[in-house]
Chain A
Amino acid sequence: MAQPRVLVLDVPEPPGDQDQEPSPYEESEVHDSFHQLIQEQSQLAAQEELELQQRQLVAGALGPPGSGHQTLVGPGGAPVHSTATLRILASMPSRTIGRSRGAIISQYYNRTVKLRRRGSRPLLGNVMRSARPSLRLYDLELDPATLEEDEKRSLLVKELQGLSVAQRDHMLRGMPLNLAEKRCLREKSQVQRGKWRGPQDRAGVFSCCSRLRYACILALHSLGLAVLSGLHAARPWRYALKQIGGQFGSSVLSYFLFLKTLLAFNALLLLPPLAFLVGVQAAFPPEPPGPAPAFTGLELLTGGGCFTHTVMYYGYYSNTTLNQPCVPPRHGDQCSPRASSLPYSMPLAYLFTMGAAFFITCITLVYSMSHAFGESYRVGSTKGVHAITVFCSWDYKVTEKRASRLQQDNLRTQLKELLAEWQLHRSPRSLCGRLRRVATLGLAWLLCLGTMLGCSVAVFVFSEVMIQSPVSAGQEVRLLALPLVVSLLNLGAPYLFRGLAALEGHESPGLEVYVAICRNLILKMAILGILCYHWLGRRVATLQGQCWEDFVGQELYRFLVMDFLFALLDTLFGELVWRLISERKLKRRRKPEFDIARNVLDLIYGQTLTWLGVLFSPLLPAVQVLRLLLLFLVKKASLMANCQAPRRPWLASHMSTVFLTLLCFPSFLGAAIFLCYAVWQVKPSSTCGPFRTLDTMYEAGRVWVRHLERAGPGASWVPWLHRYLVESTFFLFLASALLLAIIYLNIQVVKGQRKVISLLKEQIRNEGEDKIFLINRLHSIYERKERSRAGRNEEATMSPALHADRRDTW
């Protein structure tokens, strides 16, 4: 038999006894048993051969030796391993997780070295994810001699000092060591800061200037820390959100977090108009057209009356250049501008401010949507739903006993539903059942679409009726009729949809939620579409000679206020009264559920109205901010008093992404289309506003560009830019083609990555089979060794007798 190849591993001999049962806690046993094993195997093989020869000599062929082939023992049948096998298994690298701090330190040392060598962030594929210390790396990077933990630590510290501060923090944050260790490592790796030592080394004592400088730097540093911690503590509604999360879980919390996000968006939208339009126009107020009407309470609802000729609406803004009071002495002469004046062209400012505000909102929205999408979507995230349910759905935020019981009930229901769904897949329905299912679904969808069509037609007819009967000055209450009708429809139709959904009886609760959101969304978008046509198509035509922009701005204000009132009413009746009824009359102990989907869609609807109206009423985002603040307080109070968390499972992170996507796509896109149409195609009214004398609002920009062209060659790149990039369509085609090409390439890359993932999975499976095979082989080798040892002992006791026999038989 050929000499078995001995693998030389430079690992030290184990110090301890070989017969003891090792515990996974003993760090010194790591990595050394392979060497031992292979030596033993080669010795064993040699011994076996010898024994075989001996046996053949003594007693002839005893029979075939133990079979060298091992069948793969599956993991199901728990094999009884010998103590030696168990000892080896106990020191496998994957078993040393969390036990060996030294292993973690050496692992991170290796990672830091790699990071430093690469000089930049390592690619995703190269970053090792597990804390498992690898045998191979252990050999390559460190000395063969066993390093004490302190030495390993000092090596790691040295490597950390070579990294940049951000990389060092990132590395330290990810280490699974306890805080004291991390603090110690960070302190040690921060000590070597050359420039701090400079003056001290040179002079021996601190000079006066450097003392002052250090004092300033320290003061600034502590001020910065104080500001940061103050900001952190002053986060709005921090305690309220914690309370809600503790009692109701992440899903209800996601609604309130979405509300906070919308507040931020509106604050962002409010700032440019406030700074560039409202402030400036308030400093240079135009002539009032007549005596201002007295304040009655009705203005808060209708937005008209004494609010009409204020900064709140489009009509107040002048169409001239402010801060350049100029009365030309003769016709055709230029005015001589005063030295200290800054001419401020209001039409231009209006156009650019609105455009800039929308552009900033668009960028912020797209960025947060893509960020949320990146966080929540994963390749292959739809598979593995059982594992994810078991490990990732317990919400550690929930602290109250009642809420935690509820969570356990929810999980139980969810697991039961998953099992039921799986069993349904296994036993598919009969043809009759499927036909019936399709018929029910078709009928439900037909009814829904019919309801939506009916609602849209009702809104259209009612708006035509409102146009036919013009409202005189004293009867402004009648203007509230259209908002009232729309809000009633928006309130009633979702209940109808919920009833239809109960009739349909979906098995998968996630699908039910998505279908409900879809239906409500289509209804709202249809109604808003009809209203947009009503305003920009019909009202503009009928209000010729008057200020139609003011009217549209006031309409949107009315819609916002009415929507808010109906939300309050819905909270009152849908939650408070329903809870009282169900407790007193129906004697049910379940409180009404907080309907997240419907509430979120209401928020999105309100935000769409704000975006539609901001062109005609620059202060509308302020109204929306006020509305959102009040809504938060009311909803929170009602939630605490009357509701319970929804029973259906809710993937909080997916839902946040869905909310942001809905905010971006139907809502913001629709508002942007409305805005573009209003700016490019509609003729502004000739009696009010900053664009009185122009054909379209966009013409203000064109006029300015032509003015720049005439002014001279100084700023000629602006007209050139305007002509070749904005007005020509070639550039737009090029940009779209480029975008499509990038999207296609990304799709192909994702497909390729999917293929790689499935190949790697196959490889892992094969490695697992190899591992099982090797373990079984180990076990058989040790078993044979035990047997042969027992056999040898027997022979040793037997052989004197045998010799005695032989002597006797001689």
Chain B
Amino acid sequence: MGNKQTIFTHEQLEAYQDNPFRQRIAQVFSQAGDGHMTLDDFLDMFSVMSEMAPRDLKAYYAFKIYDFNDDDYICAGDLEQTVTKLTRGELSAEEVSLVCEKVLDEADGDHDGRLSLEDFQNMILRAPDFLSTFHIRI
């Protein structure tokens, strides 16, 4: 955010709102689950997305963000939604399903067709980039 202005015009606000997961972030960090955050929730969010948060904590919240249907597993439908949001819908359906299939192949440890929290955390352990990408700079 800029430190020179106090009033943002609508266009300026629009320019800051293009994270495809912004609604999921708001839903996950709000206590009521409907996207409305109190000050505590807001602080929570920035605390988790800061540099100092440990990896497991970040992985836990990332798992909740990517779990669109809130069933504590990232199933194929959740994966498809994630990939579509990441690429703005510009991959064909066949490519999306191929990517989801490969992701499940690689990350699903107990072969039940969906990713549990442990599978997700194991995969995050192998990705050292995660700490630097799941991070909002203040």
Q: Which residues of A contact B132 (CB under 8 A)?
A: 250, 652-653
Considering only residues 77-112 of chain B, those with a C-beta below 8 Å from chain A are 79, 82-83, 86-88, 90-91, 95, 98-99, 102-103, 106-107, 109-112
In contact, B136 and A384 (Cβ under 8 angstroms): no
In contact, B130 and A241 (Cβ under 8 angstroms): no
Q: Which residues of A contact B86 (CB under 8 A)?
A: 390, 394, 408, 411-412
In contact, B18 and A764 (Cβ under 8 angstroms): no
Considering only residues 106-126 of chain B, those with a C-beta below 8 Å from chain A are 106-107, 109-114, 116-118, 120-121, 123-126
Q: Which residues of B contact A175 (CB under 8 A)?
A: 57
In contact, B88 and A415 (Cβ under 8 angstroms): no
Q: How far is the CA of A331 from the CA of B78 in the complex (A)?
A: 94
Given the contacts A97-B117, A174-B56, A419-B95, A412 and B87 also touching, CB distance less than 8 Å: yes
Partner of B137, one of A241, A377, A765: A241
Q: Does A651 make an interface contact (CB < 8 A)?
A: yes
Q: Hey, what's the 0/1 contact readout for A18-31 against B, CB within 8 Å counting as 1?
A: 00000010000000
Name which residue of chain A comes closest to B108, CB basis.
A768
Name which residue of chain A comes closest to B120, CB basis.
A391
In contact, B123 and A384 (Cβ under 8 angstroms): yes
Q: Hey, what's the 0/1 contact readout for B1-22 against A, CB within 8 Å counting as 1?
A: 0010000000000111111110
How big is chain A's contact interface, by range? 35 or more
In contact, A393 and B129 (Cβ under 8 angstroms): yes
Q: How far is the CA of A769 from the CA of B62 in the complex (A)?
A: 27
Q: Which residues of B contact A6 (CB under 8 A)?
A: none
Partner of A769, one of B66, B107, B111, B129: B111
B7 to chain A, nearest CB (A): 18
Listed residue (A178, A250, A653, A654) with the most chain B CB atoms within 10 angstroms of its CB: A178
Q: Which residues of B contact A412 (CB under 8 A)?
A: 86-88, 90-91
Q: Which residues of A contact B71 (CB under 8 A)?
A: 24, 95
In contact, B126 and A388 (Cβ under 8 angstroms): yes
Q: Does A199 make an interface contact (CB < 8 A)?
A: no
In contact, B137 and A384 (Cβ under 8 angstroms): no
Q: Which residues of B contact A400 (CB under 8 A)?
A: 15-16, 18
Given the contacts A97-B117, A653-B132, A178 and B44 also touching, CB distance less than 8 Å: yes
Q: Does A767 make an interface contact (CB < 8 A)?
A: yes
Q: Does A15 make an interface contact (CB < 8 A)?
A: no
Q: Does A475 make an interface contact (CB < 8 A)?
A: no
B130 to chain A, nearest CB (A): 4
Partner of B41, one of A176, A178, A769: A178
Q: Which residues of A contact B127 (CB under 8 A)?
A: 378, 381, 384, 388, 391-392
Q: Which residues of B contact A334 (CB under 8 A)?
A: none
Q: Which residues of A contact B19 (CB under 8 A)?
A: 396, 398-399, 404
Interface window among A126-134, A608-616, A795-803: A126-134
Q: Does A376 make an interface contact (CB < 8 A)?
A: yes
Given the contacts A94-B116, A178-B44, A767-B110, A129 and B88 also touching, CB distance less than 8 Å: no
In contact, A390 and B103 (Cβ under 8 angstroms): yes
Given the contacts A387-B103, A399-B16, A768-B111, A653 and B129 also touching, CB distance less than 8 Å: yes
Q: Does A401 make an interface contact (CB < 8 A)?
A: yes
In contact, B129 and A388 (Cβ under 8 angstroms): yes
Q: Which residues of B contact A391 (CB under 8 A)?
A: 62, 66, 82, 120, 123-124, 127, 130
Name which residue of chain B comes closest to A767, CB basis.
B110
Partner of B121, one of A129, A245, A399, A767: A129
Given the contacts A408-B86, A422-B102, A178 and B31 also touching, CB distance less than 8 Å: yes
Q: Which residues of B contact A174 (CB under 8 A)?
A: 54, 56-57
Q: Which residues of B contact A69 (CB under 8 A)?
A: none
Given the contacts A24-B72, A98-B72, A419-B95, A396 and B31 also touching, CB distance less than 8 Å: no
Q: How far is the CA of A386 from the CA of B101 in the complex (A)?
A: 10
Given the contacts A390-B103, A653-B132, A397 and B137 also touching, CB distance less than 8 Å: yes
In contact, A390 and B72 (Cβ under 8 angstroms): no
A94 to chain B, nearest CB (A): 6
Q: How far is the CA of A173 from the CA of B112 in the complex (A)?
A: 32
Q: Hey, what's the 0/1 contact readout for A66-96 against B, CB within 8 Å counting as 1?
A: 0000000001100000000000000000111
Q: Which residues of B contact A121 (CB under 8 A)?
A: none
Q: Which residues of A contact B133 (CB under 8 A)?
A: 250, 392-397, 652
Q: Which residues of A contact B136 (CB under 8 A)?
A: 396-397
Q: Hey, what's the 0/1 contact readout for A421-433 against B, CB within 8 Å counting as 1?
A: 0100000000000
Listed residue (A129, A397, A767) with the most chain B CB atoms within 10 angstroms of its CB: A129
In contact, B44 and A179 (Cβ under 8 angstroms): yes
Given the contacts A130-B117, A386-B103, A412-B87, A396 and B125 also touching, CB distance less than 8 Å: no
In contact, A390 and B95 (Cβ under 8 angstroms): no
Q: Which residues of B contact A129 (CB under 8 A)?
A: 56, 118, 121
Q: Does A246 make an interface contact (CB < 8 A)?
A: yes
Q: Which residues of A contact B116 (CB under 8 A)?
A: 94
Q: Which residues of A contact B88 (CB under 8 A)?
A: 405, 408, 412
In contact, B117 and A384 (Cβ under 8 angstroms): no
Partner of A386, one of B56, B61, B106: B106
In contact, A388 and B99 (Cβ under 8 angstroms): no
Q: How far is the CA of A381 from the CA of B130 in the complex (A)?
A: 12
Q: Hey, what's the 0/1 contact readout for A638-668 against B, CB within 8 Å counting as 1?
A: 0000000000000111100000000000000
Considering only residues 22-80 of chain B, those with a C-beta below 8 Å from chain A are 31, 40-41, 43-44, 47, 49, 52-54, 56-57, 60-64, 66, 71-72, 79
In contact, B118 and A130 (Cβ under 8 angstroms): yes
Q: How far is the CA of A397 from the CA of B49 in the complex (A)?
A: 10
In contact, A761 and B109 (Cβ under 8 angstroms): yes
Q: How far is the CA of A81 from the CA of B64 in the complex (A)?
A: 25
Q: Does A168 make an interface contact (CB < 8 A)?
A: no
In contact, A408 and B49 (Cβ under 8 angstroms): no
Q: How far is the CA of A390 from the CA of B90 in the complex (A)?
A: 15
In contact, A390 and B112 (Cβ under 8 angstroms): no
Q: How far is the CA of A411 from the CA of B84 in the complex (A)?
A: 11
Q: Which residues of B contact A402 (CB under 8 A)?
A: 15
Given the contacts A131-B60, A412-B87, A390 and B135 also touching, CB distance less than 8 Å: no
Q: Which residues of B contact A380 (CB under 8 A)?
A: 126
Q: Which residues of A contact B (CB under 8 A)?
A: 24, 75-76, 94-98, 129-132, 173-176, 178-180, 239, 241-242, 245-246, 250, 375-378, 380-381, 383-388, 390-402, 404-405, 408, 411-412, 415-416, 418-419, 422, 651-654, 761, 764-765, 767-769, 771-772
- In the A-B complex, the 5 residue pairs with the closest CB atoms: A768-B110, A75-B113, A412-B87, A404-B18, A376-B128
Q: Which residues of B contact A (CB under 8 A)?
A: 3, 14-21, 31, 40-41, 43-44, 47, 49, 52-54, 56-57, 60-64, 66, 71-72, 79, 82-83, 86-88, 90-91, 95, 98-99, 102-103, 106-107, 109-114, 116-118, 120-121, 123-138
Q: List 19 A-B contacts (CB under 8 A).
A: A130-B117, A176-B60, A178-B41, A250-B132, A376-B128, A378-B125, A387-B103, A391-B82, A396-B133, A397-B135, A397-B136, A402-B15, A408-B20, A408-B86, A411-B87, A412-B87, A652-B129, A653-B131, A654-B128
